Structure 1
Amino acid sequence: MTDPDATSPQGLSGYDLARQALEEARAAARAQGKSVGMGRSAPIRSKRSGGDRSRRRWSGAGPDARDPQPFGLMIGKVAKKHGWEPRISEGTLFGMWPSIVGEDIAAHAEPTRLEGTVLHVSASSTAWATQLRYLQGQMLAKIAKVIGHGMVTSLRITGPKAPSWRHGKYHVSGRGPRDTYG
């Protein structure tokens, strides 16, 4: 094991040897015509300056226009360019329904379709349909928080569909038994 404080045969310490090697490397680079900086990268020419050499920006540790962009940001730009945003928002709404409105509501209501800015929601019973009508404002706020304002402006909440009383070839006209289903 070598002692870091030991000197070389020329009487130089480790620090002085490193400094001498660096100076020799710089001199060799200058002799070949390469520019030698003090630990900095090459200057970035600004597009605004039009080649004006008096204004230079140095690359550093901060974000730069040359850095890779996040994947989500890039996909968002592509979706906006092609006009896919409404369909992506609709897919997000339908796919994340339980996490948007909560597990309790999602267990008794599901979105069926989105027409323009009106979301059609089907409830499991007439009681839940009534309850969801009372919660409509809160649900719209939660939806807007996730997929953006203006994508869904109102809810059309319906109860369960009543069974059909038209069985077979012959049937009696009328509405069938008067009862609430659900």
Structure 2
Amino acid sequence: MARVALRAAKEQARQRGAERQQRREARRGTLRSGARRDGRDPLPLGAAVNGLITERGWETPAAVGGVMGRWPQMVGPQVAQHCEPERFDEEERSLLVRCDSTAWATQLRLLAPRLVARLNEDLGQGTVRMIKVRGPRGPEQRFGPLRAPGSRGPGDTYG
């Protein structure tokens, strides 16, 4: 009689444990990991990053960021030495490029249509619509007691 009662108690304990396990798995949204592939499996880093870029809609900014990293190969070493891309405006689809002299800014403005075509060839048609070229930044203007009245300071040079 004691053996029958013990066997019945063990069976009830097993059933309660199995029910608890099923409730836990149901809350997690998965029954078992098993040997089959599911969304929790590890991914190679490149595939995970590509999935994140696609999921968030970052394809264009990521592509343009890659171009900024390859700027010397895109425009040549001589132009890259004097002009560097600063930022990409996704709304206007324009690339802002800063040059170290006004002469290089003028030269890059003349090369802009060819450069836009080259960028769109790499990134896909219509990714970059225009290139905004900026000349060098002037030194910081300081206002103080030694300033000549009416002068514009270094802004005359870097206008």
1:101, 1:143 within 8 Å by CA — same for their partners in 2?
Answer: no
User: Where in structure 1 are there 5+ consecutive unaligned residues?
Assistant: 1-70
**Structure whose alpha-carbon radius of gyration is higher:** 1
- Tell me the matched-pair count: 113
Which amino acid counterpart does residue 94 of structure 1 have in structure 2? M
- The counterpart of 2:56, out of the listed 82, 87, 90, is 82
Residue of structure 2 aligned with 1:154, choices 111, 117, 130: 130
Match of 1:164 among 117, 140, 153: 140
User: Mean alpha-carbon deviation: is it higher for 168-177 or for 139-148?
Assistant: 168-177
Structure 2 partner of 1:138: 114
State whether residues 132 and 157 of structure 1, in contact with CA within 8 Å, keep that contact through their aligned partners in structure 2: yes
TM-score, normalised to structure 1, is 0.52
Identity of aligned residues (%): 38
Q: TM-score, normalised by structure 2?
A: 0.58
Unaligned runs of 5+ residues in structure 2 are: 1-44
SS, match of residue 132 in structure 2: strand
Distance 2:86 2:154 in 1: 27
- Note closer, same or farther for the CA distance 1:165–1:80 as it changes in structure 2 (3 Å cut): closer
Larger helix share, 1 or 2: 2
User: Any runs of at least 4 consecutive aligned residues in structure 1 with deviations exceeding 4 A, and if so which?
Assistant: 71-78, 167-170
Q: Distance in 2 between matches of 1:146 and 1:77?
A: 21
- Aligned residue identity for 1:161: R
Highest RCO, 1 vs 2 (Cα 8 Å, sep ≥ 6) = 2
| RMSD across aligned positions (CA) | 2.9
Amino acid at match of 1:104: Q
